[in-house]
Amino acid sequence: MSRTGFVLFLCPHNAAKSLLAAAYFDRLARRRGLPYRADTAGTEPEAVPAPVVVEALRAEGVDVSGHLPRLVQQQDLDSAQHVVSMGCNLIGMASAGARVEHWDDVPPVIQNLDAAYAIIRSRVEALVSELERETQ
């Protein structure tokens, strides 16, 4: 396998969707032995992660309570192999070599956590399968 790469998950506040996606991605990638890890950022970061997301991930054995939402930087985009945007405006922030996907149909977590997480899990599973094929 090649060197470790990373997938950058973006949501505006870096407090909900991107955390759910990154946590699920890391578990699947590790389970399948892929040389990828997840990172997260936002375009308008909140001060803390969404409590409902902290609790949902805690129930799955993942602790994100210490996560500090952060502003996406150009270096993040330039270093990522894949960028997944869930509702972020990336105009003017070009990615040097990453593939950029837009998952803009993921509903706000505050409105429907279960629906948002179901869509995120499905998309992450497809992405991990794609990366798995590429690394073989």
What's the CA angle centered on 49, arms 22 and 122, to 5 degrees? 30
Using the predicted structure, report yes or no on whether residue 13 has a pLDDT greater than 50.
yes
Region 11-30: mean pLDDT is 97
Residue range 77-90: average pLDDT?
91
pLDDT, average across residues 23-47? 96
| Burial profile 95-121: b = 16 or more Cβ within 10 angstroms, e = fewer | beebebeebeebebbeeebeebbebbe
CA geometry: angle at 35 spanning 30 and 38, to 5°?
A: 70
Least confident of 28-37, 93-102, 111-120: 93-102
Look at residue 1 and tell me whether its pLDDT is greater than 60.
Answer: no
| Residue bearing the bigger pLDDT, 2 or 109 | 109
**Residue 12 has what pLDDT?**
96
| pLDDT band of 94, cuts 50, 70, 90 | low
Provide the residue ranges of all domains of the chain, joining segments of one domain with +: 5-130
What gap in Å lies between CA 10 and CA 2, rounded to an integer? 24
* Architecture label for domain 5-130: 3-Layer(aba) Sandwich (3.40)
Q: Please say whether the beta carbons of 25 and 38 come within 8 A.
A: yes
Q: What is the pTM of this model?
A: 0.93
What does the radius of gyration of the chain's CA atoms come to, in whole angstroms?
Answer: 14
Average model confidence (pLDDT) across the chain? 92
Q: Give percent of the chain above pLDDT 90.
A: 80
